[in-house]
Chain A
Amino acid sequence: MTQSFARKLLLLLASVAALVLILGSVTTALGRAGAEYQAASQPPGGQPVTSDSQAGEKLDAQKAAQDRAKPYEEAEYRTFPVVGSRVAIWAVAQLHLSFAAFVLAVPIFAFIVEVIGYKTGDLRYDRLAYEFTKLLSVSFSLTATFGAFLTFMLIILYPKFTNYLMSVFSPTFLPYVLLFFFEAFFLYTYYYGWGKFHPLVHLGLGLGLNLVGTGIMLIANSWLTFMMSPRGVSDTGAVLSVREAVFNATWMPINIHRIIANVAFGGSIAAAYAAFKFLQAETDEERAHYDWMGYIGNFVAISAFLPLPFAGYWLAKEIYAFSQTLGLTMMGGAFSWLFIIQAVLIGNLFLAANYYLWLGMGRVDGPQPLQKFIKYLLFGITLCFMVWATPRSIIATVSEVRAMGGSSHPILGYLGVMSAKNTAVNILILTTFMSFLLYRRTGKIASVTWAKTGHAAQLAIFAAAAVIVIFLGIYGYFVEATVRIKLSVPQVLSVLFAMIAITVIDIFLFRRAQKTGEVRWGRIPRISQYVLIFIAVTFTWLMGLMGYVRSGLRQHWHVYGVIRDRSADAFTPTLGFATKVVSVTVLLFFMLIGVVFWISSLHDRPDFKRKTRVGDDSSPDYALPHSHAPRPTKS
């Protein structure tokens, strides 16, 4: 297949896709309009329409008179064709949130990377930060488009409920719009102003972008958390205090959880972009750059991912504190099996993240004695994964249930409770942290005088944290519920303490370390890049799934316990159905993010020049007078 043929094919496909999109939009719009017109023109009382033209005219006149006399009625719900209102809103909301998460996360680490570049004077960081930011411009437009789409869909499909939410939160809308305006200002000046301002001014723009973006998220979070844990309204929904409605029970836990999760998600998507570019790269220099970019993106993602379960604990604790019924619906009711699917996803994330780190050890020249520990780490991760994915009750036949003496397995059933799962996830986090430490140490030997003591102290802290986590996990089986639920706090704190203490020791331990081999960026198996893409897909899918549980938890309530959902979609669908919707949305997201990557890469393309005839050395008069540099550099 020649390049020219491929281009023509692409052009044809793009034209067909554009035509299908336009036709689809027009057909949907006409269908909607037609359905409403038909509904309005039905003969009253189901009377048959006679063929007699006079009778028909009379009926039409009667109908028209009735229509004119009809009082205005606000529709409570409208139906979206084919997939229904809920699925339509669900898909658009998930797409909006995925792009919003990316747009909010990338400036955070672009800003941090730029600060590092400014402080160290290393232009590689500056280029990296710019490369991250390049992805923002198109994503921002898509976020805004899906945001507007979601708003219109809510107004069309759930008019009464949307009206109610607007009446509760009306004071927050103007600040939201203003912040959005500032977001656009900061984003575009940050992107287009790269290298055009003094570095500190540019960093100020980055900081402004982050602050404004976070502000937008905090306002939007108040709307959705109010639906889950309403406060500041009477039992019938009358507004008592907008302030309380904003600062409801789950608002701050969601804010923290989302900021961390957004960074993890954004890092993984940026790493996927780097992986895509690495696989496309034709020179060693390009490979080295994109390998490094992928590593940084993944490092950001995993660093944010490790504390995420702790933020999740806090959110779950607040949900329980707000309503035990809501908490138990989540963990013990209709959604309990969803957490087994979540375990599979998180287990895969941990496995993939560790695998990438282990592959990365090959970048370093010379012998790698630390690689011998990988098999033990893999064993630990697999064991924890298996414990976490063990359900409390097992799907079994009647005879199997009889043989087991209940739906829980007599032995494995013990692994299905929270004591075992909390222990498994904490050990998983510790093991992944250990993998990162091993990777960090590859090609280095600590040369400080207290190296031996430092290593011993790190090992002791690690072992102590592991012992505490396992001991409390086992202890949980022998105490009352009121004591047991509090044991996760010391488990989490011991892991956090271990990670912080070991990192601090490590920084001093490997200061001026002796190098045994150079890091060769770009020297990594190609499969590592597919691992990065796998991590990004898994993160996106996980976000979709957890978004579903957060929203679906309300079951047949628009606002939990206050405004009931009386639509045809008020039921809670099966998990199988939910996973299908999540998957379709994830696929749509990746198709769109592929477009974002493609548009972003146009910047680096050489300018178009028409082929000249042989012997004709005159330049075409319409050629652009300049050629784009790969990136602007700061003076």
Chain B
Amino acid sequence: MRIPLILRIGALVLATTGFYTYVGQMVPQKEVQPPRETNLSGNVSTSDMAQIGRSIMEGKGLCLTCHTIGKTGALRFPDLAGVGARAKTRVPGLNDVEYFAQSLYEPTAFVVPGFPPAMPPINKPPIGLTDQEILCVIAYLQSLGGTSTVTLQTKHHYNSGATAAPAPPAAAAPPTGTPK
């Protein structure tokens, strides 16, 4: 029996879309939920803050989309392994907390040489971490090669506490093309 043309074409269309749907099922399946604000009470310990900071970096902060921890080779953005130690001396005049705060609130003020000025301010949309969430991230970053010292009460230049002025940009790339 000769199969009508319309059925043959229909079968081809169905088989083609079926094949692509199948390919779509073969890749990793991940549903991404909108980020939720982390509830932080005043008595969170520094080590707990570091743990919370790690989860914020993996999730809402999107930090690990670009940054790696403990990876070498041709990297697109700075690797964060040992950054807790490097931060203390990275920019003259800024201690590690101030340096991290500057990197997160005003990322183009200092850009690590060899990398593009591509990081967005973390406290603003679309990422929009709260001041407390950023302190947790700082706690985790300090723990990478150093010791976490911050608490939820820690003040720095960007949360209207300390008066430490950020050092003038050193080896900073021009802020052209800076994201919002």
Contacts and interface: CB of A to CB of B under 8 A. Distances in A.
A376 interface: no
Contact of A324 (B9, B75, B114, B120): B120
B119 A324 contact: yes
Contacts of A332: 65-66
Interface string B50-91: 000000000000100110000000111100000000000000
Given A280-B5, A325-B120, A561-B125, A574 B13 contact: no
Contacts of B14: 587
B173 to A, nearest CB: 9
A583 B21 CA distance: 7
A149 interface: no
Interface string B78-122: 000000000000000000000000000000000000111011100
A163 interface: no
A395 B28 contact: yes
Interface in B1-30: 5-6, 8-9, 12-14, 16-18, 20-21, 23-25, 27-30
Interface string A552-586: 00011100111011000011111110111011001
Contact of B76 (A321, A481, A573): A481
A324 B118 contact: yes
A480 B78 CA distance: 11
Contacts of A361: none
Interface string A236-248: 0000000000000
B153 to A, nearest CB: 28
A476 B77 CA distance: 15
B43 interface: no
A182 interface: no
B16 A481 contact: no
Contact of B75 (A338, A477, A481): A481
A590 interface: yes
B126 interface: yes
- Classify the interface of chain B: helix, strand, loop or mixed: loop
A235 B125 contact: yes
B31 A574 contact: yes
Given A334-B32, A340-B27, A325 B127 contact: yes
B66 A571 contact: no
A560 B180 CA distance: 11
Contacts of B119: 324
A80 interface: no
B29 A575 contact: yes
A337 interface: yes
Contacts, number: 145
A449 interface: no
Contact of B74 (A337, A480, A571): A480
B35 interface: yes
A332 B32 CA distance: 14
Interface in A483-542: 484-485, 530, 533-534, 537-538, 541
A438 interface: no
9 contacts: A324-B118, A480-B115, A481-B75, A485-B76, A537-B16, A571-B34, A575-B28, A580-B24, A582-B20
B33 interface: yes
A379 interface: no
B125 A572 contact: no
Contacts of A482: 114-116
B179 interface: yes
Contacts of B30: 334, 574-575
B42 interface: no
Nearest to B116: A482
A576 B24 contact: yes
B177 interface: yes
Given A325-B62, A325-B120, A484-B74, A341 B27 contact: yes
Given A324-B179, A329-B65, A344-B20, A572 B115 contact: no
A623 B125 CA distance: 70
Contacts of A562: 125
B68 to A, nearest CB: 11
A322 interface: yes
Contacts of A321: 177
B5 A533 contact: no
Interface in A50-103: none
A385 B177 CA distance: 34
A537 B12 contact: yes
B12 A341 contact: no
A345 B23 CA distance: 10
A572 B30 CA distance: 8
Nearest to A393: B28
Contacts of A340: 27
A630 B2 CA distance: 29
Given A579-B20, A587-B17, A328 B9 contact: no
A574 B127 CA distance: 21
B21 A580 contact: yes
A325 B16 contact: no
A411 interface: no
Contacts of A538: 16, 20
A337 B62 CA distance: 17
Contacts of A323: 120, 126, 179-180
A334 B35 CA distance: 14
Given A478-B74, A560-B126, A590 B13 contact: yes
A593 B9 CA distance: 13
A320 B14 CA distance: 36
A511 B177 CA distance: 49
B66 A328 contact: yes
A477 B124 CA distance: 34
Contacts of B66: 324, 328, 332
Nearest to A279: B5
A338 B23 CA distance: 10
Nearest to B1: A1
Contacts of A320: 118
Given A537-B12, A574-B29, A576-B27, 9 more contacts: A279-B9, A325-B120, A325-B126, A325-B179, A344-B23, A482-B114, A533-B12, A557-B126, A575-B24
A481 B20 contact: no
A169 interface: no
Contacts of B12: 530, 533-534, 537
A575 B6 CA distance: 31
A479 interface: yes
